[in-house]
């Protein structure tokens, strides 16, 4: 198998990391550049430029290659976002124009570059995955039909019963007001000292990284520890390039403690790693930029 060409010297580490990871995904598929063009929305010559570091690939191209290789598209998108912030390579005019025809090399390309690790062209004829069927909307439950109104009793029929009902209603209102006052005023209650049920309202859906999306933080204390409402982990191992709700939790707590990272986006990038290192240095921990049990303990104090 022919080796890949060396990457351009102008690429910074984040960009080089993205291209290297894309190369490995391409090798994992076993597809040649021509076969890759038939299975994606981008031409052979475009993939040659992307995988040789001559042009930043679009986010859609990164997603399509990740799906073909069976990799996690969210992790690759997070890596793409970090690389795009520092990409210093040339940007041709057609940088964002995909080739949907599935054709071969573009006429402006002088000659195709060698295809490292190309598999037999039979792979190009492999059937594309069938499109997923659209979700069927859930049936709307029929409207509930209320009971017919019962005519009110005459005023003179049962005056004693009406008086008792009015007194009982007043007592219910008073009890409700007292409950609200106790919840908001007494110490250890309310949002600042939420009970366990309130505290457990952490994110339950699967995390999906989306560029430019940020999250709010619900900073509170529970049983002496600090939480932000996204995860109650005490020992999750986080490092570049993790993309989870635990990363959102850590970013919220770092920002709350004054370690600025620029945005709560759920991607463990260089800014988050630097903030973790400053926290570790202040707390006398091993300064490695990795979130582990000891760092979580210091962060939740």
Domain presence at residue 249: yes
Q: Tell me the pLDDT tens digit for each residue of 133-163.
A: 444 444 444 444 444 444 444 444 455 556 6
Is residue 111, in this structure, part of any structural domain at all?
A: no
CB atoms within 10 A of CB 297: 14
Q: Residue 225: which H helix or E strand, with range?
A: strand 225-227
Domain end: 49, 70, 104, which one? 104
Global pTM exceeds 0.75 = no
Residue 190's CB is within 10 A of a number of other CB atoms, namely 15
Q: Which residue has the higher pLDDT, 75 or 135?
A: 75
Q: What is the pLDDT of residues 239-272, one digit of tens each?
A: 888 889 999 999 999 999 999 988 899 899 889 9
**Window from 13-27, 52-66, 80-94, 275-289 with minimum mean pLDDT:** 80-94
Among residues 104, 128, 143, the one where a domain terminates is 104
Q: Is residue 180 part of a domain?
A: no
CATH of the domain at 250: 1.10.101.10
**3-class SS of residue 221:** strand
In a domain, 22, yes or no: yes
pLDDT in tens, 183-198: 554 444 444 444 565 6
Measuring CA to CA, which residue among 55, 21, 62, 51 is closest to residue 114?
51
The answer as to whether 154 is a domain residue is no
Is 36 inside a domain boundary?
yes
Mean pLDDT of 68-89: 87
Among 89, 104, 119, residue at a domain's last position:
104
Q: Measure Cα distances from 156 to 150, 152, 168 in Å.
A: 17, 11, 20
Residue with more model confidence, 59 or 182: 59
Output the pLDDT for position 277: 94
12/114 Cα distance (integer angstroms): 24
Report the CATH number at residue 24.
1.10.260
For 144, residues 6+ apart whose C-beta sits below 8 A from its C-beta are none
Calpha distance 65→55 (Å, rounded): 16
The residue behind tokens 């570091």 is 53
Specify the DSSP element, H or E, that contains 161. Answer: helix 159-185
User: pLDDT at position 212, please?
Assistant: 80
pLDDT at 100 over 70: no
Q: Is residue 239 part of a domain?
A: yes
**Alpha-carbon gap, residue 3 to 142, rounded angstroms:** 64
Has residue 278 been placed in a domain?
yes
pLDDT score at 167: 67
Look at the chain and report how many structural domains it folds into. Answer: 2
Range of the domain at 23: 13-104
């Amino acid at each position: 198998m022919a080796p890949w060409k060396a990457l351009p010297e102008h690429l910074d580490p984040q960009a080089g990391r993205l291209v290297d990871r894309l190369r490995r995904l391409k090798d994992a598929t076993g597809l040649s550049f021509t076969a890759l063009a038939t299975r994606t929305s981008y031409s052979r010559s475009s993939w040659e430029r992307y995988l040789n570091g001559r042009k930043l690939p679009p986010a859609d191209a990164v997603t399509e290659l990740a799906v073909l290789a069976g990799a996690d598209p969210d992790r690759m998108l997070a890596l793409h976002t970090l690389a795009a912030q520092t990409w210093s390579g040339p940007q041709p005019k057609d940088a964002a124009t995909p080739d949907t025809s599935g054709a071969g090399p573009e006429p402006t390309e002088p000659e195709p570059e060698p295809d490292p690790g190309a598999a037999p062209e039979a792979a190009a004829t492999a059937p594309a995955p069938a499109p997923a069927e659209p979700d069927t909307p859930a049936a709307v439950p029929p409207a509930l039909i209320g009971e017919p109104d019962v005519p009110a009793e005459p005023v003179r029929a049962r005056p004693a019963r009406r008086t008792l009902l009015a007194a009982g209603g007043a007592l219910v209102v008073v009890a409700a007001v007292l409950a609200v006052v106790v919840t908001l005023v007494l110490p250890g209650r309310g949002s600042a000292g939420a009970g366990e049920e309130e505290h457990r309202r952490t994110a339950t859906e699967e995390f999906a990284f989306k560029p430019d999306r940020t999250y709010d933080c619900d900073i509170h204390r529970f049983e002496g520890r600090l939480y932000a409402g996204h995860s109650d982990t005490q020992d999750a191992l986080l490092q570049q390039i993790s993309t989870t709700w635990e990363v959102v939790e850590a970013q919220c707590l770092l920002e709350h403690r004054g370690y600025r990272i620029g945005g709560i986006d759920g991607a463990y990038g260089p800014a988050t790693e630097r903030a973790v290192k400053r926290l570790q240095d202040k707390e006398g921990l091993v300064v490695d930029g990795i979130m582990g049990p000891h760092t979580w303990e210091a962060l939740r104090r």
